[in-house]
Amino acid sequence: MKVVILCGGKGLRMRGLEENIPKALARVNGKPIIWHIMKLYSQYGCNEFILPLGYQGDKIKEYFIDYKWKESDIEFSLNDNKPISLDKVEDWLITFADTGLETMTGARIKNIEKYIEDDVFLLTYGDGLSDINIDHLIKFHKEKGKTVTLTGIRKQSQYGILEVDNGIATKFVEKPEGNSIINGGFFVCNRDFFRYLSDDRGCVLEDRPLKNLIKDEELAIFEHDGLWMSIDTPKDLVEANKIWNS
């Protein structure tokens, strides 16, 4: 099952700390955020990834292309000019898709439709860390039988929230106050989801696509009460390092 990780945004709220790299490459406990996300999925046997790139996408490509020798001990033959990794390297197959510098989240997903052959795929943001059980998430999605399952997180929110009845989304409210369910990413999507998306670069996943799914009663919510955090600011990055180091 392929995993799509949205990592094309500019991450403007991270400016001042991580200006020279895309947010997905900001390091938590010595590894980039995106590496931690991929490592989580790979623990559940998901080793094929699609990265819709945008802002500084070349640096994300470079990180993984150079990964084998930069992130492990190596043996280097001067005669062959060939580095040999001495550490076990993750068995990941990565598709890098250039989806445009100014493209919004919904359009980025639509643009990688051609790389999805299976009936179901996984999707998340490149700045969210969690200990979510992916097997349980997929099982829930299949039980509900809806087009998309979204992971809901209960917390006091500055973000839009979802109201849920028996595991099905009933309403989306933009930035209310109080202890509510927010969009935590970690989606499971049927291929039919692409009908809700547009390749117009202004298509925002969190706007019309999610709202239309709710209108059609096709958005299920898997509530996760374990570890989860979205790394939007330098303060979030510091906090993530404290948590992961402990």
Give CA–CA dist 242/238, Å, rounded: 6
Share of the chain above pLDDT 70, in %: 89
Q: Taking the alpha carbons of 66, 113, 141, 163 in that order, is the dihedral positive or negative?
A: positive
| Domain 3-245 CATH class label | alpha beta
Q: pLDDT tens, 24-73?
A: 999 999 999 999 999 999 999 999 999 999 999 999 999 999 888 777 77
Contact between residue 185 and residue 125 where contact means Cβ atoms under 8 Å apart: yes
Q: pLDDT tens, 145-173?
A: 999 999 999 876 556 677 888 888 888 87
Tokens of 4: 């799509």
Q: What is the pTM of this model?
A: 0.87
> Among 58, 226, 72, 52, which residue's Cα sits nearest to residue 153?
226
Give CA–CA dist 53/138, Å, rounded: 25
Q: Domain map of the chain by residue range?
A: 3-245
Q: pLDDT tens, 112-141?
A: 999 999 999 999 999 999 999 999 999 999
Tokens of 241: 């390092």
